[in-house]
Every structure is written in C-alpha cells, then in structure tokens.
A = this chain, B = another copy of it.
C-alpha cells in the first residue's frame, strides 16, 4: 500500500482529502455532530492517517470541522445563535457584493448576468427545483465575482460553504421559486441601473428571506448530489 495511488488525483493528497471531506460536509453527506474517525477516513480513502489529520486541521481552520484535543474531530455543529449570525453575515456580504457589482461590473459581466437571469425564468415555470438551485448558485457567484474584490469574494464563498448544510431545503417551500426569481430580478434591475444602494438592499432582503426559509428546516437532511466544494477563491 505504499507509493501508488489507485485513483488519478490532482494536487497533494492532503488537498484531495480537504476537498473530499469538505465536500461530504457541505453536501450534507456527513451531518453536523457526526464523528470523524481518523482511521476510518484513512481506510475509506486509502491513505495513511497523516494526510487525514492534516486535512482535518485545515477544515477545522475553515470552521467546517470541530476538533477537541485528544477527543477526536466532529463535523462542526453550530448553535442556533451562531447559525443566525452566519445568515446575518451572509446578508451583509451579499449586500456588499451587489452594491459593488452595481458600481463595478463590466458591461460584459452585466450582459451575462442579465441573460442568465432571464433564461432562468423558464425554470421557474417548469418548477425545476434542482435546475433552479444550480442556476441560483451561479447567479450568486456572479454577484460575488462582479464585486471585483478578491477578499470579499473569499469570505462570501467561505460563509456560503459553511451555510450550505443548512439551506438545502430552501426551494421546497411552496412558491419559493417564483419569489426567488422576483427578488433576483430586483437585484438585476438595480445593478443594470448602476444603483448600488438599491442593489445592496435588494440582495440583503433576498438573503434574509432565504435565512428565514432555511431556519425552518435547520438541521438534518439526506445527501443529494456530489458537488465540488467551492471553498477557495478561483
């Protein structure tokens, strides 16, 4: 079991582990509070405990994992209060991104945002929750990038990752899809006008509503689909 890796892997083993474990956390495959046994993880991914340990350390630094000295690691379990603080932060961060986007997006960025947004109207009529969820992520990522600020981008994507386990059910609420699209529309309109303040307010309201919708479902849900965890900036 030395030397050869069975699968083709890019980057170092530790990076792979960070992605693999982090992915399972943000997609809900590993649930908050679940124990992360080093030996099991090592066996599961066919590596030794060392890279697993390093990965857990990094995930701990990111806030996805909680490490108790000599007592092992668990998937970070956040209190209701801390969860609320993250949603509130998310609203503020999105507001900043929207405001900056309104002020700074290039014309091609604006065009792409509008085209994608208009294209998604179809998904609402079809009630295609899964597809809309994908579009939704894309849409918000455009806002984060459009802010043209690398550090805010990092913080925002990071916060979104940490919130991911708690917001998966947001589009299950009846009528949420159409409402979401209208809220996006308000943001897009403001950005097109170059009205930073309005864009910021619209984005903040949008996230606040998502927050309330997600709070209902709070903890626990089944795993759905694997997605590469977008923890670091690109």
Contact = CB atoms under 8 A, between A and B. Distances in A.
Nearest to A99: B92
Interface residues of A, number: 29
A59 B62 CA distance: 10
Contacts of A96: 92
Interface string A73-98: 00000000110011011001000100
B151 A86 contact: yes
A69 interface: yes
Interface stretch (A49-57, A111-119, A179-187): A49-57
Nearest to A54: B57
A11 interface: yes
A56 B72 CA distance: 20
Nearest to A70: B12
Contacts of A149: 85, 88-89
A81 B151 contact: no
A81 B149 CA distance: 9
Contacts of A59: 61
Contacts of A62: 61
Contacts of A155: 89, 155, 159
Given A50-B50, A61-B61, A81 B150 contact: yes
A58 interface: yes
Interface in A3-37: 11-12, 14
A82 B152 CA distance: 10
A92 B69 CA distance: 35
A190 to B, nearest CB: 18
Contacts of A89: 149, 151-152, 155
B11 A85 contact: no
11 contacts: A11-B69, A50-B50, A53-B54, A54-B54, A61-B62, A63-B154, A85-B151, A85-B152, A89-B152, A92-B96, A155-B159
